[in-house]
Structure 1
C-alpha cells in the first residue's frame, strides 16, 4: 500500500538529527546555572522560554540558545514559527551590545532551513562599531552544524528609554498650553 504524503513527510522529519541525538542533553545545557541574563543592562523582563537563554556574554559578543517547544509550532509536523527564531536572534543582538537603552531599528535576515519541535538553536552575535551610537550586529543561528538563520541587525543607543523619550517630548510640547 502506498504511503500518504503525511507519513512520508513525517519519515523525512524523523531522519533529521535533533539535539537529543547529541551526547549532551538539553537539560544539562539549559539547567547548568550559567545563564547571564542578570548581567544584561537591558531586556531584564524578557521571557527566555520564547526568546532563548543567554549562555555567553562578552564585549560585543553574545550567544543565545533557543530550545524549541510545542508552543512555538504551527502545524502537526512540529514546524517552528520563524518569528521565535528571529526573536532569539534579536535577543542575541541586543545582548552583544549590552547597553541599557538599545533599540533595534532594522534588520536584513535570511532563513536557510526550518526548525522543528525539540531542536536546539544556537544563535551567535558579533557587534561592530562599539564607539558609535549606531551599531551593526551580525547574528548566525545553527541547529547542530546546519546554518538556519543569518541576520544583520542595526541598532541605536539612546540616552533614555525609547518610551520615556516619547513621553518627555510630548510633555515638553504640552507645557505652557492651556487646555481648559
Structure 2
C-alpha cells in the first residue's frame, strides 16, 4: 500500500487507520472506543463517525495541502462502542483545485453513514493563508 501524503500525524485511534490506498480511493478502518460513548449504553457520538469519513476523503485525494471545504452527510444507523467501522472513499470529481469525494461508512456490510465531501487542494498550507 502506498504511504499517505496527507494527514500523516492524525491520531488513528480517533479517526481510523488506512487499510487500502490507491489514486482517488481510500479505505479506512476504526474500532469505536469507550471514550467515544455519549451514554451508558455505548452509543457513539456521530462526530467520530464523521471524523473517520473525513479522514477517508482526505486520503482519497492524498495531497499534502488538501483541506475540507464542505460536506453533505447522512447518518443512517447508530453506532456503538466495540464496533468496527470501515469508510470507503472515492474521488468523483477533479476540477482544478476542487475535488468531490463520496464516502460510505459501513459496519459489517451495513451502511451507517454516507457523505459527499468537497475538498480543495491549496497552493500552500492553510495556516499560511
Give the TM-score normalised by structure 2. Answer: 0.96
Kept in 2, the 8 Å contact 1:60–1:130? The answer is: no
SS of alignment partner, residue 50 of structure 1: helix
Note the 1:93-112 alignment, pairs <5 A: 93-112=57-76
Kept in 2, the 8 Å contact 1:135–1:156? The answer is: yes
List gaps (5 residues or longer) in structure 2: none
| Superposition deviation, residue 42 in structure 1 | 1.4
**Which has the bigger relative contact order, CA under 8 A and spacing at least 6?**
2
Find the counterpart in structure 2 of residue 77 from structure 1.
41
List gaps (5 residues or longer) in structure 1: 1-33, 166-180
* Number of equivalent positions: 129
The separation in 2 between residues aligned to 1:114 and 1:128, in whole angstroms, is: 27
The separation in 1 between residues aligned to 2:58 and 2:121, in whole angstroms, is: 10
Residue 64 (structure 1) aligned with residue 6 (structure 2)? no
Find the counterpart in structure 2 of residue 121 from structure 1.
85
What are the superposed Cα offsets for residues 14-65 of structure 1, whole Å, 9 maximum, x if unpaired?
xxxxxxxxxxxxxxxxxxxx7x6xx111111100000011110001000000
SS of alignment partner, residue 64 of structure 1: strand
SS of alignment partner, residue 57 of structure 1: strand
Is the radius of gyration larger for structure 1 or structure 2? 1
Bigger proportion of residues as strand: 2
Please list every run of at least 4 consecutive aligned residues from structure 1 whose deviation after the TM superposition is greater than 4 angstroms: none
What are the superposed Cα offsets for residues 97-142 of structure 1, whole Å, 9 maximum, x if unpaired?
0011001000000000000011000100000223521000000010
The separation in 2 between residues aligned to 1:98 and 1:132, in whole angstroms, is: 15
Match of 2:50 among 86, 89, 101: 86
